Structure 1
Amino acid sequence: MRLTALFVAAILWFAPSLALAEGEAAEIVAENRDQIEKPSRQTIGPVITALAASGDPMADDILSAWAEKRLVIRKADDVMFLAMPEGDGFALTTLDGTAAGTAAKGEITELKPNAGVRGLIGAALVQFTLSDPNPARRAEALTSIARDPTAETLEPLRASIADETDPALKARKERLERFLTLRFDPDSAARVAAIESLGSDTSLDVRAALNPLVATKRIAVAGEPDGQNVARTLTPGRNLPEAEAYDLLVVAELAPARLTLEAQRAALVANIVDGKVGGIPVAELDTQAARDRAYTALEAAGTVPVAATDAEVAAALAAHGFYEVFAEPDAAVTTAAMATLNGIDRKVGMMQAADLGLDALSLAAIYFLAAIGLAITFGVMGVINMAHGEFITIGAYTGFVVQLFVPNYTLSILIALPLAFAVTFAAGVAMERLVIRHLYKRPLETLLATFGISIALQQILKNVFGTQARPLTAPGWLDGALVFNDVVSISYIRIAIFVLALLFLMFFLYLMKRTRLGLEVRAVTQNPTMAASMGINPDRINMLTFGLGSGIAGIAGVAIGLFAKVTSELGTDYIVQSFMTVVVGGVGNIWGTLAGATMIGSLQKVIEFLNPSNTLAAQTYMILFIILFIQFRPRGIIALRGRAAGD
């Protein structure tokens, strides 16, 4: 009983204050009705602030209706209502939220605040939305403020931060508050502190917020640039073209427009009187100086429009000052913004270098996959296989065919990889048995034969699959990219190819170092005659080696087809880089192939970065560099001792 009595007493105690809060907005409107009906931005601010701070749930509705021109006065009894369109008229609600019937449009007078007052109302409404119980509405309010920031939203945003319970929204509010502070806060020290707090952030929105603070424009003045935040002084003819300098004078109305020779000649001809122009005989107008004097005389007489001769242009340039000034008038703010941007630029530069390194590694992995099979055939057998690119294409088309029958992309890729190896291994063995083995130690004939096979395979692929690109779709888990920040990212497909290249590196090392086949391949590579005398069949090793290299090319084709267009010319895009990779790295050496792929991939990315608008030029520069490199290291980065090295 005692607890019940206390509870009832508490309700009775707080009831009057709750009732007061609920009716306070209507009372504020009633007390300030004259100002609300005829508002002024200079005087209405305290009224709007009082409404926003009243705690009355109706304050939000009243302010919203006022901003949307739905705060009306009924003409019959001069009572103020909130109106909502309903049919041909309006549904009316009293300022305390009670329904009050309907009214026709002609029965009411709409209160229409001007743009300045609507701005103050909008800032007050922000306070409600930023503190709304619904997190989604608070997030929408932040998005709205970020999209259209104004000085009026700064203080409501600050006031809402302390009471924010959602950590993610609080972080967004604090970040947005810094952006608004550096732009709108009247306190220079606060703006500088906000700028300096962003120093470690390299996001695009940070740079977008700081760049306007260091934006400059060029001005021309007579004397000193009073009240201007000067970035640097400009000197006509040195760091400012004289023509541009004089154009600044004309725009600033400090000098007349320049007189062109054509306009001067036409004016002089039109004003010849008794054989004279401006008192100067026509016969004496044989120099530019004389013609300038004549035109000046016509100006003084008011006969021709005022225009500047060359001498007057030079005098005007000498008599005025030219400056590059910041659009932001506060020097402390621009100094802080420039220092922060310079720090961000340094970090962005390092991140761009890291991103370029990731791109180079991913490209090196692609070239390594494309070249590893060629390194085996070229290094062990000394065969220049111009059809190697077509084995890459066959592997890609194998993946396409598998996906026609296996709709699950993950499963189809897992099936396509070994199947592509088997298909291209068989094609390589057939090619070696039918053509290559008859041309050993005849490199020119081998090159011509494999080049012919390359053309024939391309035509067969066109006949079978057509000329249009065929899709080889990556699994969904390879979509997108691993994003570290706004600058550094790498696609998941590139990561997968990089991992695949590492797996092949480990597989090849195991094959060559831990298996009998690898032992025999190394023996044939170093000394085929001695290997044959030890019971190893070089002919069989050559066949298996060529098949192995071709099979690896098929797997590389599946990997490359996941991000490249699968056409009959797919392999031609990689054959040149594959040969360069093998030759630069050192023929027949897996570590040399890896080093060559890394070098060529890095070199290509650096050249493309320095010359992004011309990829053909980048390819040309890379080939020239490779030619120069081979002049100094003809056997590549890691030279192989044995038959492939020319021993």
Structure 2
Amino acid sequence: MLRSYFLALALSLVAPIGLHAQTLQDILQTHQDEVLKPGRRTVGVVLDDLVESGLPQALPFLESWRDREIVQREGDGLFFAVVEEGDTLSLRDLDTGSLIAIPDDEGLTEARPNGGVRRAIGDALVQFQLSDPDIEKRQAAVDAIARSMDASQLEPLAASIPGEQDPDLRAIKTRLAGMLRASFADTPDERIAAIDALSGDLSVDVRAVLNTILATDEAVAETIPDGANVARVLAVGADISADEAYARLVAADLAPPLISKSAIRDALIANIANGSVGGVARAQLNTDEARATAYDALAASTDLPERVTDAAQAEAVAAHTFYLAYAEPDTAITDAAAKALRDIEAQVAVGQAIDLGLDALSLASIYFLAAIGLAITFGVMGVINMAHGEFIMMGAYTGFVVQQFVPDYTLSIIIALPLAFAITFGAGVAMERLVIRHLYHRPLETLLATFGISIALQQLAKNIFGTQARPLTSPEWLDGALVFNDVVAISYIRIAIFVLALIFLTLILFVLKRTRLGLEVRAVTQNPGMAASMGINPDRINMLTFGLGSGIAGIAGVAIGLYAKVTSEMGADYIVQSFMTVVVGGVGNVWGTLAGASLIGFLQKGIEWLNPSNTLAAQTYMILFIILFIQFRPKGIVALKGRAAAD
């Protein structure tokens, strides 16, 4: 409240002297009855005078009036604001702000505006709050205007824009003023210019404004009236049915109403005489045709309304034109709005395609991270490792454990990434030494063994961490999303996963192409016998390769854990997609894995877009597509030469 008085003092120093020739009390005395007992229809006069007065003290008065703190002193009829401080009761002068202590509230009549009046007062307050020093009040005023979108708010909103100091709020005010001008500007040219300016704005509220301008009403006439702004002529049979068309004629008093079967039956029953009605014996009134004949004869001799025949209905419908007419009479305005809306919808379609592409790209990044380790082990060793998903799970839980000891989320992620690699690398080496090495060239036994290990690791995780999902919290700088417009946006976490996938792609290519280990891995992959004859130990390479693939899965688990839930079953959510990625892309090839992840990610998002209500069906269609794809290209997108290709 003190802020309001500082505003009043500031405005009083810069306002013209003639502005204060009339005090706030003078205005209130002119409208005593409306202030004391305001009504929804009468309060507007008081509010208009207060707004036009420009008095800075009108703002605190409106706030007190809205909050039911205004009273009238019976002795002189003056209005005050009641101030209660503990047991002390005071009256505040509405013009000077000085306080008058009083013993009690005797001799005071309280003004009690109802809900509708208080809403009207709130609308008037908006005009004052648009230039309030408190940015929160200015923001609240702008939000109130956006909700109501009333023509009376255009002028004060536009007047407040030049003095707005906050650039973001100024942009919001300018945009909101443009929407108000599109709907309520004084001249058609101003409205059309405002509509044209909105054609590049993809927000939902702008589209709502344009749709409001393009709102239509159903209409029917023998001939379309001159000057009617017709949006569309409706074809009977295509756009509306014949029955619906005749119902519109009846509603417009252009055709008599139909007589229902029940009304015909009731009329016949009421007029039965000597066993017949309308010349038809009662026993013969057992069909709709007979009852219709009897009713027609009865209506011809009585004051009953005549029945409308099918031919008469068809004739009446054919004699009239059914159309949709714009509520806005100016065709230039509706044409501009329709063009702007078409432009926006075209841009929205492009934006939705880009947004879908970004979603597919981020999903492909996740699949690539999940599958790249499997691509190495499966491609080099030919081992079907069903426990690969559990290495992803181990990496995610490693990140969770690190965050329990390192509360700095950024530092914890930096620590968790190499630690997850080390843990899962060791687990992978141990698994290869203890189990896998004894099952080479026995794919069925390898599959069953790794599947059993997968179940054991899941149960171990449940025993340690429980069955509930555990949070792997991302740093604050990964919160939120990169928003391009109201249609295109991508979360920072997905961007980080995409960047991490690129880093992995670069590192793996470097290791395979530029290091001795990579050279030996490629040699063993292409021809293990020749590699052994050149002094390379295939058994050692297999061990390191399996450990490397497992370690990469652990790092992928940390990244995926930031995006998805961390549970003991999370690995199972990615094992199927990982195998599909490797097989579709090409076994043992990094570029093939990248191509397979891209294909599956874009394919899954595309199917989900076509069938958004059923994700299970989308996954089923994706699997069927991949099965068909493999039939035509069994070696994958990028076929590998050497042992894997021969196998």
Shorter-chain TM-score: which interval?
A: 0.7 to 0.9
CA–CA distance in 2 between the matches of 1:394 and 1:548?
A: 15
Indicate the residue corresponding to 2:471 in structure 1: 471
Indicate the residue corresponding to 1:350 in structure 2: 350
- Post-superposition offset of 1:448: 2.9
Kindly report which structure 2 residues correspond to 1:386-425, keeping only aligned pairs within 5 A, or say none.
386-425=386-425
Q: Which stretch shows the higher mean deviation, 180-189 or 139-148? A: 139-148
Indicate the residue corresponding to 1:361 in structure 2: 361
Aligned pair in 2 of structure 1 residues 107, 188: CA closer, same or farther (>3 Å)?
A: same
- 1:184-203 CA-to-partner distances (Å, cap 9, x unmatched) read 22422211111111111112
- Post-superposition offset of 1:343: 0.7
**Which stretches in structure 1 are left out of the alignment for 5+ residues?**
1-13
The aligned amino acid for 2:344 is: I
Question: Is 1:23 aligned with 2:21?
Answer: yes
Kindly report which structure 2 residues correspond to 1:120-519, keeping only aligned pairs within 5 A, or say none.
128-132=128-132, 135-164=135-164, 166-221=166-221, 223-224=223-224, 228-255=228-255, 258-261=258-261, 264-265=264-265, 267-269=267-269, 271-282=271-282, 288-299=288-299, 308=308, 310-519=310-519
- 1:82-131 CA-to-partner distances (Å, cap 9, x unmatched) read 55477999937476777788796767696989989996x87776554434
CA–CA distance in 2 between the matches of 1:363 and 1:212?
A: 38
Aligned pair in 2 of structure 1 residues 443, 75: CA closer, same or farther (>3 Å)?
A: closer
- 1:435-476 CA-to-partner distances (Å, cap 9, x unmatched) read 322332232332233233333333333334333222222233
CA–CA distance in 1 between the matches of 2:115 and 2:424?
A: 77
Q: Secondary structure at the match of 2:607?
A: helix
CA–CA distance in 1 between the matches of 2:510 and 2:272?
A: 100
CA–CA distance in 2 between the matches of 1:110 and 1:393?
A: 67
Aligned pair in 2 of structure 1 residues 468, 299: CA closer, same or farther (>3 Å)?
A: farther
Aligned pair in 2 of structure 1 residues 131, 536: CA closer, same or farther (>3 Å)?
A: closer
Instruction: Report how many residues are paired.
Output: 631
- Post-superposition offset of 1:578: 0.8
- Post-superposition offset of 1:354: 1.4
Aligned pair in 2 of structure 1 residues 132, 409: CA closer, same or farther (>3 Å)?
A: closer
Aligned pair in 2 of structure 1 residues 39, 495: CA closer, same or farther (>3 Å)?
A: closer
- 1:344-369 CA-to-partner distances (Å, cap 9, x unmatched) read 11111111111111111111111111
Q: Which stretch shows the higher mean deviation, 57-66 or 570-579? A: 57-66
The aligned amino acid for 2:348 is: V
The answer on whether the counterparts of 1:81 and 1:95 sit within 8 Å (CA) in structure 2 is no
Kindly report which structure 2 residues correspond to 1:65-104, keeping only aligned pairs within 5 A, or say none.
80-82=78-80, 84=82, 91=91, 93=93
Give the TM-score of the pair, scaled to structure 2: 0.85
Q: Which stretch shows the higher mean deviation, 62-71 or 252-261? A: 62-71
CA–CA distance in 2 between the matches of 1:207 and 1:83?
A: 44
The answer on whether the counterparts of 2:195 and 2:336 sit within 8 Å (CA) in structure 1 is yes
- Post-superposition offset of 1:241: 2.2
CA–CA distance in 2 between the matches of 1:49 and 1:428?
A: 79
Aligned pair in 2 of structure 1 residues 101, 522: CA closer, same or farther (>3 Å)?
A: closer
CA–CA distance in 1 between the matches of 2:532 and 2:113?
A: 102
- 1:391-446 CA-to-partner distances (Å, cap 9, x unmatched) read 22222223233333333333332232222222222222222223322332232332
- Post-superposition offset of 1:330: 3.0
The answer on whether the counterparts of 2:396 and 2:561 sit within 8 Å (CA) in structure 1 is yes
- Post-superposition offset of 1:371: 0.7
Q: Secondary structure at the match of 2:563?
A: coil
The aligned amino acid for 1:157 is: L
Q: Secondary structure at the match of 2:232?
A: strand
Q: Percentage identity across aligned positions?
A: 62
The aligned amino acid for 1:317 is: V
Q: Secondary structure at the match of 1:219?
A: strand
CA–CA distance in 2 between the matches of 1:322 and 1:105?
A: 67
Q: Which stretch shows the higher mean deviation, 490-499 or 109-118? A: 109-118
Q: Which stretch shows the higher mean deviation, 40-49 or 177-186? A: 40-49
Aligned pair in 2 of structure 1 residues 227, 75: CA closer, same or farther (>3 Å)?
A: farther
The aligned amino acid for 1:23 is: A
- Post-superposition offset of 1:549: 1.2
Aligned pair in 2 of structure 1 residues 168, 481: CA closer, same or farther (>3 Å)?
A: closer
Aligned pair in 2 of structure 1 residues 455, 243: CA closer, same or farther (>3 Å)?
A: farther
CA–CA distance in 2 between the matches of 1:85 and 1:225?
A: 62
- Post-superposition offset of 1:233: 1.1
**Which stretches in structure 2 are left out of the alignment for 5+ residues?**
1-11
Aligned pair in 2 of structure 1 residues 442, 258: CA closer, same or farther (>3 Å)?
A: farther
Aligned pair in 2 of structure 1 residues 426, 117: CA closer, same or farther (>3 Å)?
A: closer
The answer on whether the counterparts of 1:81 and 1:92 sit within 8 Å (CA) in structure 2 is no
The answer on whether the counterparts of 2:75 and 2:107 sit within 8 Å (CA) in structure 1 is no
- Post-superposition offset of 1:520: 0.9
